[in-house]
Amino acid sequence: MSEVAATPPATPTTAARTLALTGRLTLSEGAPLWAQLQRALADQTTTIDLTTVTHLDGGAAALLNATLQQARQSNHTIHILGASPDVQRLLDLYSCPPGVTCERPAPKEPTALADIGDSAYDVWQQCKAIFAFVGDVCAGLLRAFRRPRTIHFADLPALMEKAGADGLPIVAVINFLVGLILGLQGAIQLHRFGADPFLANLVGLSVVRELGPLMTAILVAGRTGAAYAAELGTMTVNEEVDALRTLGQDPQRFLVFPRVLALALVVPLLTAVADIVGCLGGLFIGMSYLEQPAIAYLQFLQSAVQPGDVLTGLLKSSAFAVLIGLVACQRGLSTRGGAAGVGASTTSAVVIVLFGLVGLDTLFTWVFSLLGW
C-alpha cells in the first residue's frame, strides 16, 4: 500500500503544499490514491513528490496525469518532482501535453462512401491473402513432386467419401428439380410456337454447359467447402496446426493437398451425375406436359448435346473444385479469435467461393465463346 502524506508549508507566508507519495503505486490502490489527489487539488497543493516511489504502473500514471489535466483546466499549477528515470518515462508515456485534449474523440458517423471504401479494402486484403496462399500452395506442390510421400494420402478416401458419396443425394435431387423447372418454363414457351421437340436442346445444353457444373459447385461449396473452413479453422484456433509445424509437417501438404485433390476428383463425377438427372428432369416434363415419347426426347437430346459440350462442363467443374478447396482451406488456416473467428471464416469462405464461382463461370463462358466451343 502506498503511503500518502501532505506536508504543510514551511512558513505561514507560503501557500505551497507538497504531497509526498512513497512505495508502490499501482492501479489496485487507485481508489485511495485518487481520493488523495483530489484532496490535494482542493488544498491547492503545488508539488507532488515522487522521490521515494519505487514502482509505478500504467494505471497510477494515468491517475497522476489526469490530476495534472484537472489542475490545468482550473488554472492551477502542479509540479511533479523527484521521479526516477523509470517512473518519469512512464509518466511521459501517459502524459497529455498542455492545450491538447486527451479525451477520446467522438466517433464520426460512417458515410456511404466510407463504407464502400472499407468494403473494397477488405476485399482487396482478402484477395491478396488468397493469392499469397495459392503461391505458397504452388511452391509446396513443387516440393511435393520431389517427395510424393510427404503428402498425407491416408485421408484421401475418407475425404472423397464425405465430399462425393455423402453429397450425391442432395446434388441429384437439386439438379433434377433444376432440370424440372427449366423444362417446365421452356415447355410453356416452346409449345406456343409448336417447337416442342426443341425442349431437349434447351434443357440439355443449359444443364450440361452451365447449370449442372455451377449448381453442383454451389452445393459443394455450401456443404463441403464450409466444412473444410470450419474444420481447419477449429484446428488453427486449437493450435493443432502449430503442433503440426512443430513436428516438422507442412500443413499444406498434410491438410490442404488431400482436400483439394479430393474435390478435384469427385466434383467432376458429381457434375456428370447432375447432368444426367437434370436432363431426366426435362424428360419428365416432356413426357408429362408435352406428351412427348421418351425416345423422341432422347434422340433430340443426343443430337443436341455433343461430347465437347460435356467436356466443357467437366472442365469447368474441375476448376470450380480447385477454387472451392483453395479458398476454404485458406480461410480456415487464417482463422483468428476463437469460436467467433471460426464462424466468420466459414461465412467468408462461402461468400468468397460463391463470388468466385460466378466470376470463373463467366470467364469460362467468354473464353469458350471466343474459341467457338
Question: Residue 43 belongs to a domain with what CATH number?
Answer: 3.30.750.24
Mean per-residue pLDDT, 177-182:
94
Compute the average pLDDT of residues 215-233: 93
Domain boundary among 93, 126, 158: 93
Domain hosting 348: range is 114-371
**Is residue 145 domain-shared with residue 281, that is, in the same domain?**
yes
Using 50, 70 and 90 to split pLDDT, how confident is the model at 22?
A: confident
Grid cell, residue 342, equals 471460426
Residue 22 lies inside a defined structural domain of this protein? yes
pLDDT the model gives residue 263: 93
Question: Hey, which of 24-38, 92-106, 253-267 has the most confident mean pLDDT?
Answer: 253-267
pLDDT value for 11: 40
Whether residue 306 is found in the same domain as residue 348:
yes
Q: Please say if the pLDDT value at position 6 is more than 50.
A: no
Share of the chain above pLDDT 70, in %: 92
Residues 311 and 191 in one domain: yes
From the list 276, 344, 286, the residue with the least C-alpha distance to 314 is: 276
User: Which pLDDT belongs to residue 69?
Assistant: 79
In a domain, 104, yes or no: no
Q: Are residues 176 and 71 in the same domain?
A: no
Residues 218 and 129 in one domain: yes
Name 293's Cβ contacts closer than 8 Å, sequence gap at least 6. Answer: 287
How would residue 212 be classed by pLDDT, with cut points 50, 70 and 90? very high
Output the 3-class SS for the chain: CCEEEEECCCCCCCCCCEEEEEEEECHHHHHHHHHHHHHHHHCCCCEEEEEEEEEECHHHHHHHHHHHHHHHHCCCCCEEECCCHHHHHHHHHCCCCCCCCCCCCCCCCCCHHHHHHHHHHHHHHHHHHHHHHHHHHHHHHHHHHHCHHHCCHHHHHHHHHHHHHCCHHHHHHHHHHHHHHHHHHHHHHHHHCCCHHHHHHHHHHHHHHHHHHHHHHHHHHHHHHHHHHHHHHHHHHCCHHHHHHHCCCCHHHHHHHHHHHHHHHHHHHHHHHHHHHHHHHHHHHHHHCCCCCHHHHHHHHHHHCCHHHHHHHHHHHHHHHHHHHHHHHHHHHCCCCHHHHHHHHHHHHHHHHHHHHHHHHHHHHHHHHHHCC
pLDDT band at residue 362 using 50, 70 and 90 as cut-offs: very high
Q: Which band of pLDDT confidence, cut at 50, 70 and 90, is reported for residue 144?
A: confident
In this structure, are 45 and 141 located in the same domain?
no
Greater confidence, 152 or 21?
21
In this structure, are residues 199 and 290 in contact, taking their beta carbons and an 8 Å threshold? yes
Q: Establish if 261 belongs to a structural domain.
A: yes
Answer yes or no: is 285 within a domain. Answer: yes
The least confident of 73-82, 96-105, 326-335 is 96-105
pLDDT score, position 171:
94
Residue 102 lies in a domain: no
Using alpha carbons, list the distances in angstroms from residue 196 to 184, 206, 282, 288, 312: 11, 16, 12, 12, 26
pLDDT by residue (tens digit) across 184-202?
999 999 888 888 889 999 9
Residue 138 lies in a domain: yes
Q: What is the pLDDT of residue 112?
A: 84
Q: Lowest mean pLDDT: which of 11-20, 32-41, 82-91, 245-254?
A: 11-20
Share of the chain above pLDDT 90, in %: 36
Same domain, 78 and 148: no
* Per-chain mean pLDDT for the chain: 84
The count of domains in the chain is: 2
Task: Indicate whether 149 and 26 sit together in one domain.
Answer: no
- 88 and 128 assigned to the same domain: no
159 in the same domain as 89: no
pLDDT of residue 98: 59
Q: What is the pTM of this model?
A: 0.69
- Whether residues 189 and 79 share a domain: the answer is no
Give domain status of residue 319, yes or no: yes
Rounded to whole angstroms, what are the CA distances from 233 to 197, 200, 236, 244, 330? 51, 45, 5, 14, 9
Q: Is residue 65 part of a domain?
A: yes
- Give the pLDDT confidence score for residue 339 in this predicted structure: 85
Tell which of 43, 58, 93 closes a domain: 93
Q: Are residues 148 and 26 in the same domain?
A: no
Residues 350/217, Cβ–Cβ less than 8 Å = no
The residues facing 23 across adjacent strands are 53
